[in-house]
A and B are shown apart, each in its own frame.
Chain A
Amino acid sequence: MSSAASASAVQNSTAAATPEYLLQVEGVRKEFPGVVALDNVSFRLKAGTVHALMGENGAGKSTLMKIIAGIYHPDSGSFQLRGKDIRLTSPLDALENGIAMIHQELNLMPFMTVAENIWIRREPKNALGLVDHAALRRKTAALFEKLNIKIDPEIEVRDLSVANRQMVEIAKAVSYESDVLIMDEPTSALTEREVSHLFEIIRDLRAQGKGIVYITHKMNELFEIADEFSVFRDGRYIGTHPARDVTRDDIIRMMVGREITQMFPKEVVPIGDVRMAVKNLTLKGVFHDVSFEVRSGEILGVAGLVGSGRSNVAETIFGVTPATSGEIWINGEKVTIDRPSTAMRHGMAFLTEDRKETGCFLMLDVLENMQIAIINRGYVKAGFVAEGDVMRDCNVMKDALRVKTPDMHERVENLSGGNQQKVLIGRWLLTKPKILILDEPTRGIDVGAKAEIHKLITRLAGDGVAVIMISSEMPEVLGMSDRIMVMHEGRVTGFLDRAEADQVKIMELAAH
């Protein structure tokens, strides 16, 4: 299909009608240390339309929306609101200029009432300058009436279900009477009935001439509610199209249409016996009936969108959040894993997704970070940690992984992301694992370190380690895995063999 050609056609035909755009962003660039998040990105929103944003994880949608909502400042590019140049300095500034955003993660204060949450900073005051609670209640009731929301304005937010909290967030955003309303995956916590309620609200806002930006991963929502959509990929703008002209396949192709340019050092190694089998593993309310096996020497890739339950499965297997039902078999034996130390005794190692939150001890040094998982294993002599032995083995590992650090006593927070990741990988390799679970092993690290880590994973598989690799990066999953398991909303939607797997098939299973 001629996606590129039609994309530029749309741009040209609409470029003449500039004053009609409620919001127009051109040539935006945004860099974070080591990454270009947005590169020459454009976005144009018309009044009275719903404009969907599509793209894989990390395509730049959320970054762009955060720029529009005043949270980030672009490094370069122009920003016009109602035909006038503007420079937003803060989220508050954006709100005052008529741009409201409903965030993916909820931002309500749990110990305050619904009414207090909605009108925070804008509370009606009485003659004494105190908050007028009667007026607060009236205003909230009127707002809910208009939106057909049936929630008690006096209830504390912590007593609401996640879905109702989301509705409160939406009501709050609407209450600002903004011209531009940004919704970042607003339906991820909603049931079907609430989704159709939300769509009614959106249609109503559209009829009032508001511009709505709608970020979603769900194709059917796009066809149901959007007038136009823009596609982003790897921080670049791909194109804008009317929603009625396209098919599901067109969109998937636009989203994943990149070439795999990076070379992956995948080698064919003999695949041995089943190391671990997981049967009907369930963590109630998070994921259900997950079954798979992984063999010695095999790299099992796990794909799926953020929130599909991939990381939760890994945490459960490793005993961080023990399963509510289901079985785990290791080397043909059924095991119960109730805490990480049990998983480690069974030869598992787990590189977590969030390096800073659950991985590094940022204020401790390289040695202290590397040794922590092994000092329980024969490094204690007469009650004392055998510092010399630990230092020697950690040093060997540090050199083998080529961790760039002045010495073993450097604080880990002073290392680059790639080197922090290597330190953590070193921590786990020192335990000589038989089953290695890697959650986003190369997230946020530079290309060179990435390639080294890929080489290392390949070598470990060659040594007979069973590897489970969760990744949001399609090329990484496709390039490294022997088999790929795809998850969607807490369930396994399919397995793909290396030979048959491609980006389109994965996206189909992941977006379901």
Chain B
Amino acid sequence: MSTEQAAKTAARPGGGEMQQKRKLPPEANIFLVLIGIALFFELLGWIFVGQSFLMNQQRLTVMILQVAVIGIIAVGVTQVIITGGVDLSSGSVVGVTAMMAASLAQTSDFARAVYPSLTDMPVIVPVAVGLLVGLIAGLINGSLIAFTGIPPFIATLGMMVAARGVAKWYTRGQPVSMLSDNYAAIGSNLDVGGISVPVPVIIFLVVALIFHIALRYTRYGKFTYAIGANVQAARVSGINVGRHLIKVYAIAGLLSGLAGVVLSARAISGQAGMGVAYELDAIAAAVIGGTSLAGGVGRITGTVIGTIILGVMTSGFTFLRIDAYYQEIVKGVIIVAAVIIDQHRQRKRRKA
């Protein structure tokens, strides 16, 4: 159509954004759940422990710190799930990168270093290697899915098993210890305006912010949602679906690599068993935060809230000195309940 005609019609009064109504963002519900859970523990705290659950800066910090690594993974996993896929390999990739990064962060005063000639490296080296290893794992995942057409579940299941094998093979199961102080600093605290904030928490929030913006305001994000919403329509709209999926899985791998670096720096060691089952916590965080496993729906803000809910629950149970076994039972219930509530809400909105 010619633009004049279009402009003429557009000039009609009444058309346009007259009736923009204010809608609550989709995260509002889950945010209320978070507040609810926090207040629940606050109340129980006063009753059973005799102190406040929330009015404790150190506890609040730990609350987020213990889920920061899960959160970094969950940011990548959220993007994968939005495309309609899944990434089961994140936990194993954390294990591999923790080992490999740590092996390049050892100090020379340790006699049994993995690479005796590569000790006392500048901190950038182990970090870069960790990120690279994660990126490669993600590229393999994405390429398998794009070029062979196998389901993401299978491709990443294979990577999950194989990467864990690599992590164990790398040092024949021996932990990697005696890491440099500079490397360990990635896992310690930083003074931000008089408050001591753990670096992993800062990394988590920065990563979340970056990908929140990427998903909402860049072409990368628009294509990610489009593929998840209707892969056929995306293809017909001119999107190179295979190439885009490789990008998304590569980013998820990169973030798992980052999580591995952060985890090994915080533990000041690398262990082949690091990150076991983290992929499931990450998927849980995304799903609690409103990401639909069917694809096309999900936001990083929701995932951040979902991650924090997991953290609050863990802290809360510890605070109330409740047995770890019960924690897992309740966590399972919360995951399922969150999805049931979310689906119910979706259905109601569709009817409206």
Chain A residues within 8 Å of B, Cβ to Cβ: 318, 320, 339-341, 343-344, 350, 352, 357-364, 368, 371-373, 375-376, 380, 383-385, 387, 395-400, 402, 406-409, 411, 413-414, 427, 429, 456, 459-460, 463
Select from chain B the residue with minimum beta-carbon distance to A424. B233
- Distance between A363 CB and nearest chain B CB, rounded to angstroms: 5
Q: Which residues of A contact B232 (CB under 8 A)?
A: 357-358
Partner of B222, one of A344, A368, A402: A368
- Distance between A402 CB and nearest chain B CB, rounded to angstroms: 7
Contact B240 A341 (CB under 8 A): yes
A selection of 16 A-B contacts at a CB cut-off of 8 Å is A320-B236, A339-B240, A360-B233, A364-B226, A372-B234, A385-B217, A385-B219, A385-B222, A395-B10, A400-B1, A400-B6, A400-B10, A402-B9, A407-B21, A411-B350, A459-B5
Cα–Cα, bound, A399→B6 (Å): 8
- Between A and B, how many residue pairs show CB distances below 8 Å? 111
Given that A350-B236, A408-B17, A429-B1 are contacting pairs, would A362 and B12 also be in contact in the complex, using a CB cutoff of 8 Å?
A: no
Select from chain A the residue with minimum beta-carbon distance to B225. A364
Cα–Cα, bound, A371→B217 (Å): 13
- Distance between B231 CB and nearest chain A CB, rounded to angstroms: 10
> Which residues of B, 7-41, contact A by the 8 Å Cβ criterion?
7, 9-10, 12, 15-17, 19-21, 23
Contact A375 B15 (CB under 8 A): no
Tell yes or no: B230 within 8 A of A by CB.
yes
Cα–Cα, bound, A344→B350 (Å): 33
Tell yes or no: B185 within 8 A of A by CB.
no
Select from chain A the residue with minimum beta-carbon distance to B349. A411
Given that A344-B238, A364-B225, A372-B237 are contacting pairs, would A395 and B17 also be in contact in the complex, using a CB cutoff of 8 Å?
A: yes
Chain B residues within 8 Å of A, Cβ to Cβ: 1-3, 5-7, 9-10, 12, 15-17, 19-21, 23, 217-219, 222-223, 225-226, 229-230, 232-240, 296-297, 350
Contact A407 B17 (CB under 8 A): yes
Cα–Cα, bound, A362→B292 (Å): 14
Contact B10 A341 (CB under 8 A): no
Contact B21 A361 (CB under 8 A): no
Q: Which residues of A contact B230 (CB under 8 A)?
A: 357-362
Q: A352-B233, A385-B222 are in contact. List 6 more A-B contacts (CB 8 A).
A: A359-B233, A363-B229, A383-B218, A384-B217, A407-B19, A427-B237
- Distance between A265 CB and nearest chain B CB, rounded to angstroms: 14
- Distance between B346 CB and nearest chain A CB, rounded to angstroms: 9
Q: Which residues of A contact B229 (CB under 8 A)?
A: 361-364
Q: Which residues of B contact A340 (CB under 8 A)?
A: 235-238
Most-contacted residue by chain A among B23, B217, B230 (CB, 10 A): B230
- Distance between A394 CB and nearest chain B CB, rounded to angstroms: 11
Given that A362-B229, A463-B2 are contacting pairs, would A352 and B10 also be in contact in the complex, using a CB cutoff of 8 Å?
A: no
Cα–Cα, bound, A339→B237 (Å): 10
Select from chain B the residue with minimum beta-carbon distance to A427. B237
Q: Which residues of B contact A398 (CB under 8 A)?
A: 15
Contact A400 B240 (CB under 8 A): no
Contact B236 A361 (CB under 8 A): no
Contact A363 B236 (CB under 8 A): no
Contact B20 A407 (CB under 8 A): yes
Cα–Cα, bound, A199→B113 (Å): 82
Contact A363 B222 (CB under 8 A): no
Cα–Cα, bound, A343→B237 (Å): 10
The 3 closest A-B pairs by CB, nearest first: A361-B229, A400-B6, A341-B238
- Distance between A361 CB and nearest chain B CB, rounded to angstroms: 4
Contact B10 A361 (CB under 8 A): no
Q: Which residues of A contact B23 (CB under 8 A)?
A: 409
- Distance between A98 CB and nearest chain B CB, rounded to angstroms: 39
- Distance between B241 CB and nearest chain A CB, rounded to angstroms: 10
Cα–Cα, bound, A157→B255 (Å): 44
Contact B21 A406 (CB under 8 A): yes
- Distance between B3 CB and nearest chain A CB, rounded to angstroms: 8
Select from chain A the residue with minimum beta-carbon distance to B11. A399
- Distance between B215 CB and nearest chain A CB, rounded to angstroms: 11
Partner of A406, one of B10, B19, B226: B19
Contact A376 B16 (CB under 8 A): no
Cα–Cα, bound, A270→B256 (Å): 61
Given that A361-B226, A363-B297 are contacting pairs, would A372 and B239 also be in contact in the complex, using a CB cutoff of 8 Å?
A: yes
Q: Which residues of B contact A341 (CB under 8 A)?
A: 238-240
Select from chain B the residue with minimum beta-carbon distance to A371. B222
Q: Which residues of B contact A399 (CB under 8 A)?
A: 6, 9-10, 12, 15-16
Q: Which residues of B contact A397 (CB under 8 A)?
A: 6
Contact A318 B217 (CB under 8 A): no
Contact A413 B226 (CB under 8 A): no
Contact A463 B21 (CB under 8 A): no
Contact A364 B238 (CB under 8 A): no
- Distance between B313 CB and nearest chain A CB, rounded to angstroms: 29
Cα–Cα, bound, A270→B296 (Å): 44
Q: Which residues of A contact B234 (CB under 8 A)?
A: 361, 372
Cα–Cα, bound, A509→B21 (Å): 54
Cα–Cα, bound, A363→B231 (Å): 13
Contact B16 A456 (CB under 8 A): no
Partner of A396, one of B10, B17, B235, B236: B10
Select from chain B the residue with minimum beta-carbon distance to A339. B240
Given that A361-B226, A368-B226, A400-B1 are contacting pairs, would A320 and B17 also be in contact in the complex, using a CB cutoff of 8 Å?
A: no
Cα–Cα, bound, A359→B21 (Å): 27
Contact B225 A368 (CB under 8 A): yes
Q: Which residues of A contact B238 (CB under 8 A)?
A: 339-341, 343-344, 373, 376
Contact A363 B218 (CB under 8 A): no
Q: Which residues of B contact A406 (CB under 8 A)?
A: 19, 21
- Distance between A116 CB and nearest chain B CB, rounded to angstroms: 25
Contact B6 A413 (CB under 8 A): no
- Distance between A272 CB and nearest chain B CB, rounded to angstroms: 16
Partner of A456, one of B1, B3, B219: B1
Cα–Cα, bound, A376→B226 (Å): 14
Partner of B235, one of A320, A402, A460: A320
Q: Which residues of A contact B21 (CB under 8 A)?
A: 406-407
Cα–Cα, bound, A408→B9 (Å): 17
Cα–Cα, bound, A396→B218 (Å): 22
Cα–Cα, bound, A373→B237 (Å): 5
Q: Which residues of A contact B20 (CB under 8 A)?
A: 407
Contact B10 A385 (CB under 8 A): no
Q: Which residues of A contact B12 (CB under 8 A)?
A: 399
Q: Which residues of B contact A364 (CB under 8 A)?
A: 225-226, 229, 296
- Distance between A170 CB and nearest chain B CB, rounded to angstroms: 32
Select from chain B the residue with minimum beta-carbon distance to A351. B236
- Distance between B236 CB and nearest chain A CB, rounded to angstroms: 5
Partner of B218, one of A361, A385, A427: A385
Cα–Cα, bound, A169→B235 (Å): 34
- Distance between B162 CB and nearest chain A CB, rounded to angstroms: 28
Q: Which residues of B contact A463 (CB under 8 A)?
A: 1-2
Cα–Cα, bound, A400→B238 (Å): 24
Cα–Cα, bound, A358→B10 (Å): 29
- Distance between A108 CB and nearest chain B CB, rounded to angstroms: 23
